[in-house]
Amino acid sequence: MIKIDIGHYFAKKVTFQQYWRGGYIRDQENFVQLHQKDLEWSWKSERAIDFEWMKLNTAKEHLERQLEVAKNRLEQERQRAEETERNLKSAEMEKDSLIERIEALKDNLKRCKE
């Protein structure tokens, strides 16, 4: 899309089609008077859309960061759960070996008493 500046009347830009469509090249003042409201709306709406787009992108980036943080926390929690499970299995095995040692010591004590 080609944009042209219609001069010293105002600093907004319009498309060539907007400029050419009504034959306003002959009468720029008339063009300005007839289309100033449309151009102001267009200019303001472009700025508003740019601002909204910027806000949406900022919100999207913030949500992506939050998602990444949540994924990292979930991964850390999973690793802690795996470590706890390994520690629990290790403790159960140690408990079983201690029970076997206690039984062996009881048997030795009975033999010694006899």
What pLDDT is attached to residue 18? 55
What pLDDT is attached to residue 113? 83
Which pTM does this prediction carry?
Answer: 0.46
Query: Tokens 């498309």 map to which residue?
Result: 15
- The mean pLDDT value for 96-111 works out to 92
Q: Determine the 3-state secondary structure of 37 from DSSP.
A: helix
- In terms of residue numbers, what domain contains 26? 3-113
Total domains in the chain come to 1
The pLDDT tens digits for 8-32 are 444 455 555 555 555 444 445 555 5
Query: Tokens 């449309």 map to which residue?
Result: 38
If you ran DSSP here, which 8-state letter would residue 13 be given? E
